[in-house]
Amino acid sequence: MTTANHDGAAAPRRWPLVIGAIGVVFGDIGTSPLYTLKEAFGPHYGLQADATNVLGVLSLILWSLVLVVTFKYVTVLMRADNRGEGGILALTALVQRSLPVSAPLSYTVGILGIFGTALFFGDGVITPAISVLSAVEGLEVAAPDLERFVLPITLAVLVLLFSMQKHGTEKVGRVFGPIMVLWFGVLALLGVVEIVRYPAVLEAVNPVWAFRFFLAHGVLAWLALGAVVLAITGGEALYADMGHFGRIPIRIAWLGFALPALLLNYFGQGAFILSHPGDVASPFYELVPGWALFPMIVLATLATVIASQALITGTFSVVRQAIQLGYLPRMLIVHTSDRTEGQIFIPLVNKVMLLSVIAVVLGFGSSSNLAIAYGVSVTGTMLISTVLLVILARVRWRLPAWKVLPLAALFIAVEAAFFSANVVKFIEGAWFPLALGVVAFAMMRSWRRGRELVRMQMNRDSLRIEHFVGNLMAHPPVRVPGTAVFLTPSNQFMPPAMLHNLKHNKVLHDRNVLLSVEILGVPRAEAAERVVHADLGHGFSRLTLRFGYLEDPDVPRALKQWDIPGPAFEPMETTYFASRESLSARPGQGMALWRDKLFLFMSRNATPATEFFHIPGNRLVELGTQVVI
């Protein structure tokens, strides 16, 4: 499913996509009103709830949503699609594909993309924790005696949420849209009621109030951006989910529904704060009439569960992309839907996320404490996406510098201000998402470099296949009927499995295919680029199967269904040979020793390539080979 298909859809077919986008894309940003103004006027920043401060903060929220989310993401960045797909990895692959081969800048782009992805993983841990925790904290407003139940209920909701992942989200996803439509409708209604009571709050539309706020407070106003940025967390999802819904449905949902509802609620909260000086403990829930508090807590909890679900599903998708592109080791991926390819479940990732989220909830204890840590990973990813966008505009779109640089300077200045305002809270909690990002970055870089070293070492110790075939015919071995498929990362060289088979069994099959699998930097490969085949003569051939990074690399199915020169691959006459590498590290060779050990640990726990490529166990022969890096 591509963006083009969605964007070209007729109006009657487009509205279900709009509703679906409201349910999935805007869950994170749609639950931000639960805690944004609460944190801005909480004890951490010490801002008085007077007219200058309230109108100034509201003006900053409004223009941040307009500039960063609406202008940058919805208007500009959505044009940078990788064959219909968005997200930091898709953008990285698109930029690298636009650069000359082996260009030095390509390496820098790759590093930025990996770090942006690593920061996204940190966001994936904090968002479920802060979202659900802030919703359940409404119990403290409804009945202060229930405060002791907030953490247990939050943990119970999160455990239930993660335990449901193995069943897939297709059935649950059908009700996401209507619930989030109700949520945004309630947000708008609550805001309108309060704005009508205090219409002077609408003055915050004037950006002059934002400038006055900075003039009045200086450094404190800059630090308060750490709270303002909470209003735009989730903006990256608009771009990342473009491939699921299309840019037009997302734009309609954002401009026509989500953005107006959010602004009305923020302004309603501001009106309440101005009309109730000093009463800002929880401005969101204080908008709600007493009789509706408990239903609102339930609705808010459902909305935050949906927001968390969307981010969990997004994390599964990003991990899968990272695996396919060679940044993470292979893991077991379970497809939870026969009809929707993107519905996947990764047990190991789910378990790690659950344990991390529980640790975050117990460690920070409240949404206010978590809000201090929140924002670093989001703004870091936003800043990286802006840099990549600038490179893309200059290299691929060929836009002149006078068009690109002013906008680039604007976006970078705004996002750098947000990022720096969050980084200064390092000791208070911002260290946590940064630490998660650094760990993920080290794992991704070590895995990619480690696999490069393994391939280099194996190629160094092997012969080019053409040379081997030529020498082999001087003393031809015994041939047996059937087809042997030798899985190898580089079909330019003789696979170790072929050498061991010839050495120990003293035979070769009538047909020998050296097969390598290549993952392209596009979501889905075109039919014309899927197969590269070369006949080497004497019953040998070289075959490369190419998949997009969103496709399931099912090798047997591809051999059966794709148009491959030569005889058909009969399942019962085809035997697969693979090398099982036994890896070891030598100090002073390859990477730093700690990175070697990290790579060896990941390699030992990775899903075997044969399982990842769906090779049937009853047709597989594995032969060991020693590799020292």
| CA neighbor of 373 nearest in space, from 359, 383, 352 | 359
Whether pLDDT at 327 is above 50: yes
SS3 (DSSP) at 579: strand
pTM of the model: 0.85
- Dump pLDDT digits (tens) for 339-393: 555 678 889 999 999 999 999 999 988 888 888 888 888 899 999 999 999 999 9
SS3 (DSSP) at 213: helix
Position with higher pLDDT, 215 vs 124: 215
Question: Which residues, including other chains, have CB under 8 Å from residue 270's CB and lie 6 or more apart?
Answer: 37, 54, 55, 57, 58, 201, 204
**Which of 267-271, 313-317, 342-346, 412-416 has the weakest average pLDDT?**
342-346
Whether pLDDT at 6 is above 60: no
CB atoms within 10 A of CB 571: 11
Q: What is the 3-state secondary structure (H, E, C) of 425-443?
A: CHHHHHHHHHHHHHHHHHH
Number of alpha carbons in the 13 Å side-chain half-sphere of residue 356: 19
Mean pLDDT of the chain: 87
Q: Provide DSSP, 586-610.
A: -TTSSS-HHHHHHHHHHHHHSPPHH
Confidence of residue 236 (pLDDT cuts 50, 70, 90): confident
Whether pLDDT at 109 is above 80: yes
Bridge partners, residue 584, by sequence: 628
- Dump pLDDT digits (tens) for 491-545: 788 888 888 888 888 888 889 999 999 998 888 899 899 999 998 888 899 999 9
| Structure confidence at residue 13 (pLDDT) | 65
Confidence of residue 27 (pLDDT cuts 50, 70, 90): confident
| Structure confidence at residue 257 (pLDDT) | 92
| Structure confidence at residue 2 (pLDDT) | 39
Across the beta sheet with 478-487, what order do the strands follow? Answer: 531-537, 540-547, 507-519, 478-487, 574-584, 620-628
Bridge partners, residue 505, by sequence: none
Ordered by start, the domain boundaries in the chain are: 3-394, 461-628
Tell me how far CA of residue 324 lies from CA of 106, 163, 482, in angstroms: 19, 25, 31
Which of the 8 DSSP states describes residue 148? Answer: G
| CA neighbor of 257 nearest in space, from 585, 23, 3 | 23
| Structure confidence at residue 589 (pLDDT) | 77
Q: Which residue has the tokens 């991390």?
A: 356
Query: In the CATH scheme, what is the code of domain 3-394?
Result: 1.20.1740
R_g of the chain computed on alpha carbons: 27
State the Cα–Cα distance between residues 572 and 353, nearest whole angstrom: 41
| Structure confidence at residue 3 (pLDDT) | 41
Tell me how far CA of residue 508 lies from CA of 109, 477, 484, in angstroms: 45, 7, 8
Tokens found for residue 53? 């401060």
Question: Which residues, including other chains, have CB under 8 Å from residue 593's CB and lie 6 or more apart?
Answer: 585, 587
| CA neighbor of 385 nearest in space, from 414, 342, 406, 422 | 414
- Dump pLDDT digits (tens) for 557-583: 999 999 998 888 988 889 999 888 788
Confidence of residue 171 (pLDDT cuts 50, 70, 90): low
What percent of the chain has a predicted confidence (pLDDT) above 70? 96
Say if residues 163 and 141 touch (Cβ distance below 8 Å). Answer: no
Question: Which residues, including other chains, have CB under 8 Å from residue 516's CB and lie 6 or more apart?
Answer: 487, 488, 489, 490, 491, 543, 544, 545
Name residue 601's amino acid: F
| CA neighbor of 172 nearest in space, from 27, 287, 271, 315 | 27
| Structure confidence at residue 1 (pLDDT) | 35
SS3 (DSSP) at 465: helix
CB atoms within 10 A of CB 626: 11
- Residues across the chain: 629
State the Cα–Cα distance between residues 263 and 267, nearest whole angstrom: 6
Tokens found for residue 235? 């903006």
State the Cα–Cα distance between residues 335 and 168, nearest whole angstrom: 8
**Which of 53-57, 62-66, 192-196, 452-456 has the weakest average pLDDT?**
452-456
| Structure confidence at residue 68 (pLDDT) | 94
Say if residues 185 and 258 touch (Cβ distance below 8 Å). Answer: no
Q: What dihedral angle (degrees, nearest 10) is formed by the CA atoms of 521, 523, 527, 530?
A: 40
| Structure confidence at residue 337 (pLDDT) | 65
Position with higher pLDDT, 577 vs 463: 577
* Segment 191-207 mean pLDDT: 95
Buried b (16+ CB within 10 A) or exposed e, 184-206: bebbbebbeebbeebeebeebee
| Structure confidence at residue 169 (pLDDT) | 60
State the Cα–Cα distance between residues 372 and 375, nearest whole angstrom: 8
